[in-house]
Structure 1
Amino acid sequence: MRISSLFLVVAALAVSGMGSLAPVGGNPETAALPPSTREPAPAPPPAPAPKGVQSFAADDVDPAEFLWKLRPLVVFADTADDPAYVQQMAAILRDPGPLAVRDVVVITDTDPSTSSLWRTMLNPQGFSLVLLDKDGQVKLRKPLPWDVREISRAIDKFPLRRQEIGRAGLTP
């Protein structure tokens, strides 16, 4: 039988419903059933969600741990009940993906009496948002909360981030 004749036979069987095949790995008992009565094919696995951003209390980590590895985003307040602090943390928790992509780690300090190394180094007054680059240099200080989009855009303007984007062939 030539290939064109074989094709016609297979096409005729498919149209009549008699030549349907079970999907690879399908149930052989239901292979002869019409497609509408077979078990549905398993759904593909969901796309991985962006990883969250790591967060640490200021007393638990040293700034040197992040040098040339991560960008610390330090959120200061005089108390964890400060409305600006609550608003800032809610914004970070709502959309951590863009910060994770930009290698951001969140450091929180809500107790001025402890005089953490971060507080001593950055000398905040009340609520303060301080963003450092991977080289340890302060790149941004804000007295009010910022949303993740604003923070991400600021990071994308950093020279080190622009180098990362260029090496990876990404667009900000």
Structure 2
Amino acid sequence: MRHVFGILAVLSLPFGASAGLAQEASATPELPIVDSAEVALEDFLWTKRPIVVFADAAADPRFVEQMRFLEADVEELLLRDVVILTDTDPKAKSALRKKLRPRGFMLALIDKDGGIKLRKPAPWTVREITRSIDKWPTRQQEIRVELGKE
């Protein structure tokens, strides 16, 4: 009898561990996604790095793919203080649309200093985005501070 309970205890370990992992996965932080009509780029100066995703409709396959890419690795984006701004209504003529002038789908990466660092006409993965961000002088300074070298 003792042997049976021992086997059950051993068999239940992986299931208990996987239940704990499932709870951790559900506690994954959410990516801040904001409609661009509700904000101005100046709202994020020196605090966040806006990534602006434009499309002529929310159903645009490139927009859908880009949003899926962004949601696939939230932690890496949050580590770099990213906020996602979306604009899928060209008729609304938002301030961001007037400033950045997209034609159809466009991905724009903006640094904390408000500088437009990159514009792309096609979706980018989080890996491509974070590699680009990590080369920016403001991010390089943050990395040095994090490492205690400054």
TM class by smaller structure: 0.7 to 0.9
Of 6, 13, 30, 1:52 maps to 30
Of 112, 119, 131, 2:90 maps to 112
1:37-84 deviation per Cα after TM superposition (whole angstroms, max 9, x unaligned) = xx99x98x7678652221100111121110000000000001111111
Kindly report structure 1 stretches of 4+ aligned residues shifted beyond 6 Å: 45-48
Gaps of 5+ in 2: 1-5
1:29 equivalent in structure 2: none
2:127 equivalent in structure 1: 149
Normalised to the residue count of structure 1, the TM-score between the two structures is 0.71
TM-align CA RMSD: 2.6
Bigger radius of gyration among the two: 1
Structure 1 position 137 matched with structure 2 position 115: yes
Matched to 2:53, the amino acid is V
1:83-119 deviation per Cα after TM superposition (whole angstroms, max 9, x unaligned) = 1111100111122111111000000000000011111
Structure in which a larger fraction of residues adopt helix: 2
Indicate the structure whose relative CO is greater, using CA pairs within 8 Å and at least 6 residues apart: 2
CA contact 1:78–1:112 (8 Å) conserved in 2: yes
Normalised to the residue count of structure 2, the TM-score between the two structures is 0.80
| Aligned partner of residue 67 in structure 2, secondary structure | helix
1:100 equivalent in structure 2: 78
What is the distance in 2 between the residues matched to 1:105 and 1:120? Answer: 20
1:88 equivalent in structure 2: 66
1:62 equivalent in structure 2: 40
Count of paired positions = 138
